Structure 1
Amino acid sequence: MPFLSAESARALAELVALDALGDGGGDEATRVTPLERLRGIRSLITALEADPASLNAVREALDAGEAWEEIADAAGLSPSAAKYRWAGDDDAIAARQEASRRRKRDRPSSAPTELPGLGVAEAAKRLGVTPQAIYQRVNRGLLHAETVELPDGRKYKRVFLPDEPAASAD
């Protein structure tokens, strides 16, 4: 009995068929382009990521008495990553995945660029010191710094050098 889903098996068969064609021996009509190969690889990866075969194998391994460390090693993950991905029942796993998707949607992947003052690293570079020296100067009252909180909850320490304008005190 096959353990891959029909979608994964189809994507695998399509990739094997592309591989069998190779470069077509120079024949333009049968040549597999690099983009076709890339699409085939991505299609298989996407199908495998959605395939319940991994979860089923993990559950079978746990039932057979395997430890999370062995499961993680077989999957190429850390034990904590393996537990995060596969521990619990279907509802718990779905809830973790949805929470992760929600966090990714709600939070931009990069730091905002229009914040007042300077970041600690930028202030350190301007003054020719280490970031730790900036924190020490702030703690000693030699430099002014504020923590700016964005509406999404992210916080940034901003440093105001004597020649930089300070944030408005609304």
Structure 2
Amino acid sequence: MSFLSAETARALAELVALDALDGAADPDGEDASPLERLGGIRSLVTALESDPAVLAAVRDALAAGIGWDEIAQASGLSASAAKYRWAGDDATISARQEASRKRKRERPSSVPTELPGLSVAEAAARYGVTAQAIYQRVTRGILRAETVELADGRKYKRVFPDDADES
């Protein structure tokens, strides 16, 4: 019996079938499309990431006296990332993962576009200078800037150029 879950074994078998198809002409003379190959690879990676066999292997390694540094090296992670991912019992790991998902849901991944003024990068492009030069102009009082704080706590430096002064 395989140590992989049924879902992971299925994803692996599908990818192996795509690999066998690719390069070996089928009756229609077609290979696996690039999107089929990409989908197969991502399905396998996703299945492996959530496969209980990974956590079981980590727990078996810990029980055998193997340390986090060696586990991290074998998994391609830093020791702290490996501990964060796999340390503790199932309830602890689940709570940690849910807290991480919650933070990601609550934290938008992009800068809002409806903010007043210009971003420092936009102002730098407008004046043809670096962002550091914009900060220096703000410090010297040549440009006006304000820090805009959103309701969720994110803060953005916004520059308000004098449209009459295009220097």
Partner in structure 2 of residue 64 of structure 1: 64
Q: How does 1:18-33 map to 2 (within 5 A)?
A: 18-28=18-28, 31-33=31-33
Does the C-alpha gap of structure 1 residues 68 and 116 become closer, same or farther in structure 2, counting only changes over 3 Å? same
Name the aligned partner's letter for residue 157 of structure 2: K
**Displacement of 1:58:** 1.6
**Displacement of 1:153:** 2.2
* Cα RMSD (Å): 2.5
Bigger Cα displacement from structure 2, 4-13 vs 97-106: 97-106
Q: Deviations over 1:6-48 (max 9, x none)?
A: 2111221222233233344252187544333333222222211
- Contact 1:24–1:31 (8 Å) recurs in 2: yes
Q: Secondary structure at the match of 1:159?
A: strand
TM-score normalised by length of structure 2 = 0.81
Q: Secondary structure at the match of 1:156?
A: strand
Name the aligned partner's letter for residue 124 of structure 2: A
Q: How does 1:85-96 map to 2 (within 5 A)?
A: 85-96=85-96
Name the aligned partner's letter for residue 80 of structure 1: S
Q: Deviations over 1:128-169 (max 9, x none)?
A: 4432333333334443221112223221111112228xxxxx
The alignment status of 1:109 with 2:109, answered yes or no, reads yes
Give me the whole-angstrom Cα distance separating, in 1, the residues matched to 2:112 and 2:63.
47
Partner in structure 2 of residue 13 of structure 1: 13
Partner in structure 2 of residue 157 of structure 1: 157
Does the C-alpha gap of structure 1 residues 137 and 12 become closer, same or farther in structure 2, counting only changes over 3 Å? same
Partner in structure 2 of residue 79 of structure 1: 79
Name the aligned partner's letter for residue 34 of structure 2: P
> Structure 1: where are the runs of 5+ without partners?
165-170
Name the aligned partner's letter for residue 105 of structure 1: R
Partner in structure 1 of residue 36 of structure 2: 36
TM-score normalised by length of structure 1 = 0.80
Name the aligned partner's letter for residue 70 of structure 1: E
Give me the whole-angstrom Cα distance separating, in 1, the residues matched to 2:22 and 2:130.
54
Partner in structure 2 of residue 168 of structure 1: none
Q: Deviations over 1:104-142 (max 9, x none)?
A: 223332211221111122223333443233333333444
The alignment status of 1:139 with 2:103, answered yes or no, reads no
Name the aligned partner's letter for residue 108 of structure 1: P
Name the aligned partner's letter for residue 83 of structure 1: K
Does the C-alpha gap of structure 1 residues 16 and 123 become closer, same or farther in structure 2, counting only changes over 3 Å? same
The number of residue pairs the alignment matches comes to 164
Partner in structure 2 of residue 123 of structure 1: 123
